A and B are shown apart, each in its own frame.
Chain A
Amino acid sequence: MANDVLRATIRDLFRFSLSFRFGSIILMIVGILLLLSFFSPFESDDRRVVPRNKPPSQEFILGTTGSGQDGFWLLTFAIRNTLMVSGVAVLIGRSIAVMVGMLTGYLGGKTDRVISSIVDSIIVIPRLPLLILIAAIMQGEMTVLSLALLLGILDWAHPSKRYRAMILSLRERDFTHTAIFSGMNALKVVVQEHLPFLIPLLLADAVAGFLWAIGVEVTLSVLGLSDLGTPSIGTLIFWGNYHHALLRRRVWILAAPIAASVLMVVGFYLVSLSLSEYLDPRTRLSRLTMEE
């Protein structure tokens, strides 16, 4: 049943939403690049396996880097790592957000007030300086996983407020009362009855999380604050700048990660745009009238 609904939704989106069509095609290209990294003839840390600093040619589609790596295969690793970092960050961040949102929204009262005011304080703390501070302190010890963890821990306050608002309105619905009267405990009500309502919101939110995490990953790496030994979109740009790729007219070293990051974020954003449009009851109404 659920599968059918999902398939129908995707079919609808594909048919009616231009941005979903474009977005999903872009994301598919990104996904293929990611999968290709598993078939790379080189390891991600193999150096001097190909001639150095060769411009793009038939043999090396995206050229080669100063340390003798193939630009194309390096890019596939970079995409994989960047998406992994942001994926883990999104997962952690949204899990905390859902828990906090459900807790405050469902329990209400004093617990809600205390936790909400803490959340409000956390929201105004500027995240980028804080991240840079932590990253600077951890300098040299930052790994891909710890970066992902860090991003996740810092990205839950805003979404948790949205989930809280949603749960607040669900709590007053009849089915909640029915569930409580039939003897369900609070945890079960929230998880079984309320969580399904959150999922659409969660989907659109996850994309926003991806955008933020990719942006921060690039920013921290460019500042030299992430794990520079692991290829990612940001570290590729960092090393390109470090070796003065621009001044030495080796622009392909920088162009590939820049293009990849733009593709990634635009793909994600277009999909999220079509999703939130699809979920908005007002546009759904106008779409229904159009279909008739």
Chain B
Amino acid sequence: MTLLKEFILPRFAQWLIVIFVGVTITFIIPRLSPVNPVTETLARMQMYQNIDPEAVQAMRATLLDLYGLEGSVLEQYVNFWKRVLKGDLGPSLASFPLSVNQLIGVSIGWTIGLLGTSILIAWTLGMTLGSLAGYYPNRWWSEGLEKSLITVYPVPYYILAFVLLMAFTFYLPIFPLIGGARGTAAFTWEYISSVLYHGFLPALSIVIGATAHRFIMAKALTTTEKSSDYVQYAQMAALPQRKILFYYVTRNTLLPQVTDLSLSLGALFGGALIAEFVFGYPGIGTTMYTAINNGDYNAIMGITLLSIVGIATASLLIDLIYPLIDPRVRYR
């Protein structure tokens, strides 16, 4: 019972607070805008045709209702919460008959496939290389690796992706410029291979950036850990180096790394907006980008909300399983 009361409940409360604050912010910001989406939509409709003023009034009322802009701000806020709690993110303002839920449903699979895979690959790769380079800091390969990754790490992701795009679709056209796959979705080798082929370049760009970050962190942690007494003891006891590194040193550096992994997996629901934009990948980031261009506030808010819930949940989960990963972390 104390476990529930003193460990789980506070963290759960924190999770609720985070989501509450996040939802409130996503609610407030569009309403600070001088742009009124209803007027915008009406103006768009009246651009090419004359509409009866009465019909315009009726349409205005319908649109206000549809967009959840009826009544005072407080009423809107309460209604917004009611809708969100039901899991309904409202209608999409730009691609109207579709709801935001449907928009997200179509694209989320692509994002999870692309980002999930590349995050896992980058994490494993960065951890392994970083631990090795931290354990053997003076080898030629570890110095070379460090120098090149340090140069790549600070480069803005967009620049990295754009240079890859230029190199491998334009100057050396071996990868497709846009799209997620060719043909209709089916469980055939042809379709799956085209998914892999289309996903390779965006995945590569994400993997390079994320691996550099992971490598630098893993190397720093391993360097610190290596100077511990138990490592010297193990070395004097002539344990195999591989065993010291991967069974003792790496395990001790795992905690912050697992936190990071879970947070980046949680951030997955926000999509890799830039990656998907650059490579024309049909994921949730592209949906977000289209929504921004069309002034589709409902879709923007829905996706932002989803990514807030994703990250908050990931950090809740990681908090809860900390003691399982590292017995040194005792819950208070």
- List A residues at the B interface (Cβ < 8 Å): 19, 117-118, 120-122, 124-126, 128-130, 132-134, 136-139, 141, 211, 214-215, 218-219, 222-223, 225, 237, 246, 251, 254, 258, 261-262, 265-266, 268-270, 273, 282
A137 touches B33 (CB 8 A): yes
A266 touches B155 (CB 8 A): yes
B156 touches A214 (CB 8 A): yes
Known: A129-B304, A137-B30, A223-B277. A265 touches B154 (CB 8 A): yes
Known: A117-B14, A129-B307, A265-B155. A137 touches B29 (CB 8 A): yes
A121's partner among B22, B29, B292, B304 (CB-CB below 8 A) is: B22
A223 touches B289 (CB 8 A): yes
Q: Which of B242-290 contact A (CB under 8 A)?
A: 267, 270, 273-274, 277, 288-289
Is residue B55 contacting chain A, with contact meaning CB distance below 8 A? no
A215 contact set on B, CB distance < 8 A: 156-158
A124 touches B33 (CB 8 A): no
- List B residues at the A interface (Cβ < 8 Å): 14, 17-18, 21-22, 25-26, 29-30, 32-35, 150-151, 153-159, 162-163, 166, 170, 224, 227, 267, 270, 273-274, 277, 288-289, 292, 295, 300-301, 303-304, 307-308, 311-312, 315
**In the complex, what's the smallest C-beta–C-beta distance from B38 to chain A, in angstroms?**
15
A132 contact set on B, CB distance < 8 A: 273, 288, 292, 300
B33 contact set on A, CB distance < 8 A: 137-138
Given contacts A120-B18, A223-B292, 13 further A-B contacts (CB under 8 A): A124-B18, A128-B270, A128-B273, A130-B304, A132-B288, A133-B292, A137-B30, A137-B33, A218-B158, A251-B166, A254-B162, A254-B166, A261-B159
B292 touches A219 (CB 8 A): no
Known: A128-B273, A223-B292, A225-B292. A268 touches B17 (CB 8 A): no
B17 contact set on A, CB distance < 8 A: 117, 121
Known: A137-B32, A211-B154, A269-B154. A129 touches B163 (CB 8 A): no
B25 contact set on A, CB distance < 8 A: 125, 130
A118 contact set on B, CB distance < 8 A: 21
**In the complex, what's the smallest C-beta–C-beta distance from B7 to chain A, in angstroms?**
16
**In the complex, what's the smallest C-beta–C-beta distance from B244 to chain A, in angstroms?**
20
**In the complex, what's the smallest C-beta–C-beta distance from A122 to chain B, in angstroms?**
7
Give the CA-CA distance A132 to B286 in the complex, in Å: 13
A126's partner among B30, B267, B295 (CB-CB below 8 A) is: B267
A124 touches B311 (CB 8 A): yes
B295's partner among A134, A136, A138, A265 (CB-CB below 8 A) is: A136
B30's partner among A133, A139, A246, A269 (CB-CB below 8 A) is: A133
**In the complex, what's the smallest C-beta–C-beta distance from B175 to chain A, in angstroms?**
15
B35 contact set on A, CB distance < 8 A: 137, 139
B304 touches A133 (CB 8 A): yes
**In the complex, what's the smallest C-beta–C-beta distance from B241 to chain A, in angstroms?**
22
Query: Would you mind naming 30 contact pairs between A and B with Cβ atoms under 8 Å apart?
Result: A118-B21, A120-B14, A121-B14, A121-B18, A121-B22, A122-B21, A124-B18, A124-B311, A124-B315, A125-B25, A126-B304, A126-B311, A129-B270, A129-B300, A130-B29, A133-B30, A134-B29, A137-B29, A141-B34, A215-B158, A218-B156, A219-B157, A222-B158, A223-B277, A225-B292, A246-B166, A261-B155, A262-B155, A265-B154, A269-B150
